[in-house]
Amino acid sequence: MCGILAVFGVADNSQKKRSRIIELSSRLRHRGPDWSGLHHHKDCYLAHQRLAIVDPASGDQPLYNEDKTVVVAVNGEIYNHKELREKLKSHEFRTGSDCEVIAHLYEDYGEDFVNMLDGMFSFVLLDTRDNSFIAARDAIGITPLYYGWGLDGSTWFASEMKALSDDCERFMTFPPGHVYSSKTGVQKRWYNPPWWNPESPIPSGPYDPLVLRKAFEKAVIKRLMTDVPFGVLLSGGLDSSLVASVASRYLADSTAAQWGSQLHTFCVGLKGSPDLGAAREVADYLGTRHHEFHFTVQEGIDALEEVIYHIETYDVTTIRASTPMFLMSRKIKSLGVKMVLSGEGSDEIFGGYLYFHKAPNKEELHHETCRKIKALHLYDCLRANKSTSAWGVEARVPFLDKEFINIAMGMDPEWKMIRPDLGRIEKWVLRNAFDDEQSPYLPKHILYRQKEQFSDGVGYSWIDGLKDHADQQVTDSMLDKASFVYPENTPTTKEAYLYRTIFERFFPKNSARSTVPGGPSVACSTAKAVEWDAAWSKNLDPSGRAALGVHASAYIDNGKTATQ
């Protein structure tokens, strides 16, 4: 995962300004420690910090078209770049980089080529022939992008707001699935699936387990595109276990076999935590080379300030889950691994969170899954990307593959409804799709293991330790005055107050605090659960403990008991 910084319309073109751009770009070097690049044309700068995953030898950025009139800086991966090269045979490619196709696609198709890309990406492209530029972000917002404006009239783009927050008078999150053109001054949505429009009819497509399974396998396989060592983040839950199972089956694929026939898997937790035991069992079943990392509550607390600086949020649930992932990513990088597959997105697509047990009907469930997917870039995508990128590791998320999402969101949501009377727990459609008696992907009890919130799964004492630490740092009086100190997005718990104070030290501008989702420190999911069942209002903690009785010890499926 790379880091990009682009500035257009700079009033000062002195060497001092160039040095300032280099200095700000270096704040993103953790994202791309392998090489730094800078292109300067008139009043425009494109800077790049590279993490070399595909074509490490010659894929340095910025990238260009043949005569270098089109310049592009990209953060991401274009999985269909080989197919796109077939459409661009009239062009001369200088590198094997998957991102070079962007410059040539712009030449042939103009500004409307973005929907041709299959991948995760944020990019900025400069056309030096008329000094125009475009910027775009992938469909769901897997890769981060911010944009802002300087007092001199300049326009800025950066992978993380730490690279522009000091020099921009105002900045904000660039929305997923959008492209901006300086020619028109318009930012428009390029990603428009039917489910995105709240006015669209509720989907009525059939549920075909084999189609769903094949789409997910394809999503995993295309993400094995790499020229560096890789692995899978394995918590032992359904989502990461399916990613690991599919990846291990297809490891003989030519794009991945160069790193050996045994898949590497990684798990983190407090000693004795639920995730560690479950992940070990899955790893043994799949025959992976498993790496188990331990951390203590104190080590996590000691890392909080660094975590918040890197993930750029004060959201409670995100920080709880980011800290173990941040610590694990450092260990993973120490092993020489630069890319990992992860299981984010499944719960949003299939209604996997335990509060979905309270969904009153399929219409409500569908609208909530849509809302959750649209917010992923503010929560789980942000966590997965920035926690790993802090140590120069790239996280890829097959559940957020465009084709897979279209299939999963096109089926009648009645299939996603949790129906204990029919033996259907949360995400039953996904579990059933991989329930293969002849060639099992996972053991039954793992396939039907109920969800643990990540911040709970790494060890229940982790959250308790964070709350105890916050109680020691934040007084009752401080919390009572919170609305005066932080009138916008006022923290309602001591833990939330603590995270907010740390965040404000690093990012004191109003623009920065406005990039974090609004509302109280309680997760949005809990708010929806309260709407569906007032009993949930008694539990204001945003962790998975708010399940209030739906986290059953066993389910009956086809006459068989599947226990956690």
Tens digits of residue pLDDT in 112-159: 999 999 999 999 999 999 999 999 999 999 999 999 999 999 999 999
In degrees to the nearest 10, what's the CA dihedral of 84, 89, 91, 95? 60
Report percent pLDDT > 90 for the chain.
Answer: 84
Instruction: Tell me if residue 145 falls in helix, strand or coil.
Output: coil
Task: Write down the residue that tokens 């691994």 correspond to.
Answer: 337
Q: How confident is the model at residue 456 (pLDDT cuts 50, 70, 90)?
A: low
Cβ–Cβ < 8 Å for 557, 531: no
Q: Which residues are catalytic?
A: 2
For 54-71, write each residue's pLDDT tens digit: 988 888 999 999 999 999
pLDDT of amino acid 542: 57
For 338-397, how does the pLDDT look when each residue is reduced to its tens digit (9 = 90+)?
999 999 999 999 999 989 999 999 999 999 999 999 999 999 999 999 999 999 999 999
Q: Is the pLDDT of residue 562 over 50?
A: no
pLDDT band at 559 (very low <50, low <70, confident <90, very high): very low
CA 383 to CA 516: how far, in whole Å?
13
554 pLDDT higher than 80: no
Helix axes 274-286, 238-249, angle to 10 degrees: 20
Average pLDDT score over residue span 250-256: 62
CA distance 164 to 294: 35
Contacts 24+ apart (CB under 8 A), 33-39: 33/392, 34/392, 35/60, 37/61, 37/62, 37/73, 38/62, 39/71, 39/73, 39/126
pLDDT at 528: 76
Q: For position 1, what pLDDT does the model report?
A: 76
| The CATH fold of domain 209-563 | Rossmann fold (3.40.50)
Q: What is the pLDDT of residues 157-183, one digit of tens each?
A: 999 999 999 999 999 999 999 999 999
In this model, does residue 521 exceed pLDDT 60?
no
Whether pLDDT at 193 is above 80 = yes
CA 387 to chain centre: 10
Answer whether residue 73 shows pLDDT above 50: yes
* pLDDT reported for residue 82: 96
- 330, 391 contact by CB (below 8 A): yes
Query: Is the pLDDT confidence value at 254 over 60?
Result: no
Cα 105–chain centre separation: 26
Known binding-site residue numbers for ATP:
233, 268, 342-343
Please state, in angstroms and rounded to a whole number, the distance separating the CA atoms of residues 448 and 563.
7
Strands 230-233 and 264-269: parallel
- Mean pLDDT, rounded, of the chain: 91
The fraction of the chain above a pLDDT of 70, given in percent, is 90
Three-class DSSP category at 44: strand
* Cα 410 to the center of its chain, rounded Å: 22
Domain 3-192 fold is Glutamine Phosphoribosylpyrophosphate, subunit 1, domain 1 (3.60.20)
Q: Are 230 and 340 in contact (CB under 8 A)?
A: yes
| Average pLDDT of the residues in 200-213 | 97
**Where residue 96 falls among pLDDT bands split at 50, 70, 90?**
very high
Binding site: what residues are annotated?
Answer: 98, 233, 268, 342-343
Q: What Cα–Cα distance (Å) separates residue 1 from each residue in 34, 43, 214, 544?
A: 11, 27, 27, 30
Q: Tell me, what's the pLDDT at 256?
A: 52
The DSSP bridge pattern shows strands 394-396 and 339-341 to be parallel
Interatomic CA distance for residues 64 and 102, integer angstroms: 9
Q: Where are the domains of the chain?
A: 3-192, 209-563
Cβ(314)–Cβ(308) below 8 Å = yes
**CA separation for the pair 472, 474 (Å, rounded):** 6
Beta strands 289-294 and 264-269 are parallel
DSSP H or E segment with residue 380: helix 380-389
Q: Is 200 helix (H, G, I), strand (E, B) or coil?
A: coil
pLDDT level of residue 229 (50, 70, 90 thresholds): very high
The reported pLDDT for the residue numbered 262 is 87
Known binding-site residue numbers for L-glutamine: 98
How many alpha carbons fall within 13 Å on the CB side of residue 299? 13
Q: Of 326, 295, 293, which is closest to residue 308 (Cα–Cα)?
A: 326
Find how far residue 82's CA is from the centre of its chain: 24
Q: pTM (2 decimals)?
A: 0.93
Place of tokens 């429009």: 197
Nearest to 159 by CA among 121, 130, 102, 125: 121
List pLDDT tens digits, range 537-553: 666 565 555 455 555 54
Task: Work out the pLDDT band at 564, boundaries 50, 70, 90.
Answer: very low
Is 223:396 a contact under the CB 8 Å cutoff?
yes
- DSSP character at residue 382: H
* pLDDT (0 to 100) of residue 531: 83
Mean pLDDT computed over 29-34: 97
The one-letter amino acid code at 360 reads P
